[in-house]
Amino acid sequence: MQGALRKNIFNPKIMNKKFPFSGISSVAMHASGHENAEYSHLTPIYASSTFTFDSAQQGSDRFAGADKTRIYSRWGNPTFTTAEETIAALETFGVNDANGNPLEVKALLHASGQAAMTTLFLSTLKSGDTVLSHFSLYGGTHELFLKVLADTGVKTTIIDMRDLNLVEDALKKDPSIKMVHIETPANPTIQCVDIEEVTLLAKQYNILVSVDNTFATPYLQQPFRYGVDFVFHSTTKFLNGHGTSIGGVLLGRDLEFMRTKVWKWHALLGGNSNPFDAFLLTQGMKTLELRMDRHCDNAMKVAEYLSQHPAIGHVNYNGLASHPDHLVTTKQMRHPGALMSYELKGGLDAGRRFIDALQMCVRAVSLGTVDTLVSHPATMSHFGLKREERIQFGITDGLIRMSVGIENIADILTDLEQALGKA
Ligand SMILES: *Cc1c(COP(=O)(O)O)cnc(C)c1O
């Protein structure tokens, strides 16, 4: 009965039999099942905590897994599924497995990037294990390692993973390393780690590899191409694109492991998404390719403009040939992306004056929204740190972090020009 009610109007299995999609915009709009009983064009917001049974037998079948219909929203919800299937399709678009067949991965949507990361680390690591990572990391990840994971007995080793010799040394010396976690590109200096080379090394030692692909999005970079085990996103950023919700997703290559232990930990930790945020995410992703093209075009122009400006000391943008990781960027990314940071020669006070003088660009942390976001880490996100400490992380006094939006480029440049004039 339940089955008969469902009409998969855009069932991907049916669609893919017709022709394979040629680009990710089609994937973003049509890869998911759009499963609903009422022929609604968009996947509805299934604001329901639980799902009913027609009979005791149906309840048993669902718990036994013979009937895949939902049971309870912490364990899964159709609105989440649409977002999950879309992200999985984007991350695997054009990617094959070892046998040359289209790669299949499983995605689990979470309440936040932090929740997705918590599921990842707690379901794969246990007391006595070590995770190896790069020193340029999202603040929340760094703190999760040093506070939460440390308390569970999981250690963290932080090195410069751009130096492959250091990676190999660490793997050779420390048999407790069970996972390598890569964030590339990373804050604030937009450092990039070579996913392929690090994964090749890790696989020699049978070590899991996870990649935080938040800054790049699957349009610019697909880590599964290089054999990594997990990909992670804060969907709050470019995937949503409009700054309307917090969310995260964890994707894994080992389907059995994802469906058993990872799913179980996700369900027990309780970091599930909610139908409204999942709906907003699905709508946002439909324009991912269009948005990213414009974000990236604008970012390149902003970086070129800033690198010529007399008030600017240094521009950290991986798209510039002067960036130390420019070559790795060219190798693994379609385009360097929309994030950059730059140093105001006038230091802390110049940073403050510049931020205050902005007339269009938005003063805010976060990134990946359609509008340009600008922050001054020394007086904002890293205000609580001692000066020497933050400078160790590359957060110098006059450093400005910018997520370049999709406004008309002339207006972004005009705003920067007038604000720099007052810095
Ligand atoms: C924002 C962000 C996170 C954390 O995600 P939330 O959605 O804020 O929980 C993790 N990694 C990176 C690179 C981020 O930018």
- Every domain of the chain and the residues it spans: 1-112+234-286, 114-205, 288-420
Ligand 1 center to residue 137 CA distance, Å? 10
Pairing of strands 208-212, 130-134: unpaired
Nearest residue (CA) to ligand 1, atom 5: 113
Within the chain, what is the greatest distance between any pair of CA atoms?
74
Ligand 1 pocket by Cβ (under 6 Å): 112-114, 138, 140-141, 183, 212, 214-215, 234, 236-237, 246, 248
Round to the nearest angstrom and report the end-to-end CA distance of the chain. 68
Mutate to test the pocket of ligand 1, among 236, 239, 280, 367 (most ligand atoms within 8 A of CB): 236
Ligand 1 center to residue 232 CA distance, Å? 9
Q: Torsion angle of alpha carbons 120, 114, 367, 316, nearest 10°?
A: -60
Mutate to test the pocket of ligand 1, among 119, 214, 232 (most ligand atoms within 8 A of CB): 214
> From edge to edge, which strands make up the β-sheet containing 177-183?
106-110, 248-252, 230-234, 208-212, 177-183, 130-134, 155-159
CA atoms lying within 13 Å on the CB side of residue 120: 36
3.80.10.10, 3.40.640.10, 3.10.450.50, 3.40.190.10: which CATH number matches 1-112+234-286? 3.40.640.10
Q: What is the pTM of this model?
A: 0.94
Contacts of 159 (CB under 8 A, 6+ apart): 132, 133, 134, 135, 166, 167, 170
* DSSP label of 102: B
1-112+234-286 shares its CATH topology with 288-420? no
Q: Which fold has domain 114-205?
A: Aspartate Aminotransferase; domain 2 (3.40.640)
Ligand 1 center to residue 52 CA distance, Å? 35
Mutate to test the pocket of ligand 1, among 215, 233, 237 (most ligand atoms within 8 A of CB): 237
With contact defined as beta carbons under 8 Å apart, do 362 and 407 qualify? Answer: no
3.90.1150.10, 3.30.470.20, 3.30.2130.10, 3.10.20.90: which CATH number matches 288-420? 3.90.1150.10
116 CA closest ligand 1 atom index: 9
Ligand 1 center to residue 233 CA distance, Å? 7
Ligand 1 center to residue 2 CA distance, Å? 38
Contacts of 62-67 with C-beta under 8 Å, sequence gap 24+, read: 67/2
Per-residue model confidence as pLDDT tens for the chain (423 residues): 343 344 444 444 545 556 889 999 999 999 986 667 788 999 999 999 999 999 999 999 999 999 989 999 999 999 999 999 999 999 999 999 999 999 999 999 999 999 999 999 999 999 999 999 998 889 899 999 999 999 999 999 999 999 999 999 999 999 999 999 999 999 889 999 999 999 999 999 999 999 999 999 999 999 999 999 999 999 999 999 999 999 999 999 999 999 999 999 999 999 999 999 999 999 999 999 999 999 999 999 999 999 999 999 999 999 999 999 999 999 999 999 999 999 999 999 999 999 999 999 999 999 999 999 999 999 888 888 889 988 887 889 999 999 999 999 999 999 999 999 999
Nearest residue (CA) to ligand 1, atom 4: 113
Ligand 1 center to residue 234 CA distance, Å? 5
Nearest residue (CA) to ligand 1, atom 11: 138
